[in-house]
Amino acid sequence: MQHGGSFATSSGDGVARPGTAAAAMHHQQTGVLIGATMLSMILAFVQKIPCRSGAWDDAVQQYQYFCYTDIYPLYEWEGFSRGQTAYIDHEIEYPVLTGGAMQVVAWLVSQIDESMRARTFYDVTVMLLTICAVLGVLATARAAGLDGRRQALMVAFSPAPILCAFINWDLVVFALTALWLASWSSRRTVWSGIFLGLAVATKFYPIVLIFPLLLLCLRAGKMRELAKTLLAAGAAWLAVNVPVMIAAPTGWQTFYRFSSERNADWGSIWYLFQYYQLPVVGNQQLEGLNARAAGSFVVGCIAIAVLALAARRRPRLPQLCFLMLVAFLIGNKVWSPQFVIWLVPFAVLARPRLWPYVLWQACEIVYFVAIWSHLVYYIGRDGYPITGFPGINENWYFPAVVIRSIGLLVLVAYVVKDVLRPDQDIVRVRGQDDPAGGILDQAPEGLRIASNTRAARKE
């Protein structure tokens, strides 16, 4: 016998057990999301099969088949094949948790036959990344609120991340960042800080997400809660970084030194400017490029701050996080294809509509095809013999760079429109405020830089 609809059941003792049906539904939805993510990761694995079958050992075919990955060659390049320890015996250009993940997998495959060891290193890494993908999708569903399953399915089935899933270790930071957002949405401020600190220790970009969190907490008057999160984040980051700093200070510094010394590279708009010697950058020295990249990011931060503090209703946290990541990527010196993984969960949560999300994904796929096609041409131009597909030259590659940027900026325009017109924001139209906002959700309005000006005008 049931009482109170589908949310109460009775046991053999005749006592109603509220919530049993809801719990069953939750478990069913979790199963759907796990299955969807596993299916996507299988597709990602299949996409790499031509390379896994031997094309990785061919400098051209791995690009002709669009199945390049960093994972396979870095097993050799980072010294793992020679038994070297990350940071201590060999400097690694990644933050410590990424290097740590590489090291653990290298230890796991160390007893495999040497001829199979690099490919097994890739296979075991894929298993790790698949677990991270599942955790990230489930965490995204938790942060999404009432429409969690639909939004998480959008993340799981996004085509560009499927193509890029196993290029690098970005799914690890994807999971940690999503867990940060899910913990924050659940008002677990300390746990959110721990996950944020670990995310920054994996790939450095999540540190920029502190700024939108600061702006929204400032506007809502929630600075004490923010302080708890930041303290926990700092403690978590130090806990995993300090041991490496002490044991291998030079190796630990490699990532930060490499980032500052790196020139404009593939995917970056600065690379386009440099190639065509446009006056924005031209042939100026690295210091000039660093200054311009930093300056463009600062301009983006100022624009986001004005938007966050002047909008008549406080923006939702995923909206500002998405805009922040775009500002970071647009001005960055390198924009690798797999960086799309960083953006996808925030893009979906910021604006859970198919259009223009699908347009942006299509633009990312255009770039995915273009970068590998251009590398075929690039290698051939340097004298390497090419058979089959000859690739594409700069006249085709750089338009793809621009197309990807335009597709993303169109999505940015829609997110900004939703911030300025909250009555058109689909999340708020459905009666929610900021499901991922945690303590910000339903919080009273506080600081707003435009309110006094408008009040004065009314008088």
Tell me: the pLDDT tens digits for 195-252? 999 999 999 999 999 999 999 999 999 999 999 999 999 999 999 999 999 999 999 9
d(CA 396, CA 265): 17
132, burial (CB in 10 Å: exposed 0-12, middle 13-18, buried 19+): buried
**385 contact partners, CB below 8 Å, separation of at least 6:** none
Whether the predicted pLDDT of 418 surpasses 60 = yes
Average pLDDT over residues 384-388: 92
pTM here is 0.93
Query: Which pLDDT does position 449 carry in this prediction?
Result: 80
Mean pLDDT is lowest, of 185-189, 276-280, 355-359, for: 276-280
Do 407 and 360 meet the contact criterion of CB atoms below 8 Å apart?
yes
Mean pLDDT is lowest, of 7-16, 28-37, 332-341, for: 7-16
pLDDT in tens, 427-437: 999 999 999 99
Please, which pLDDT band fits residue 2 given cuts at 50, 70 and 90?
very low
Q: How many helices (H) and strands (E) does the chain have?
A: 21, 2
Whether the predicted pLDDT of 451 surpasses 60 = no
What percent of the chain lies above the pLDDT cut of 90?
84
Average pLDDT over residues 383-404: 96
CA-based nearest residue to 54, from 7, 113, 119, 117: 119
Whether the predicted pLDDT of 147 surpasses 90 = no
CA-based nearest residue to 70, from 393, 331, 337: 337
What percent of the chain lies above the pLDDT cut of 70?
92
Query: Which pLDDT does position 210 carry in this prediction?
Result: 98
d(CA 113, CA 120): 9
d(CA 453, CA 14): 63
Whether the predicted pLDDT of 14 surpasses 90 = no
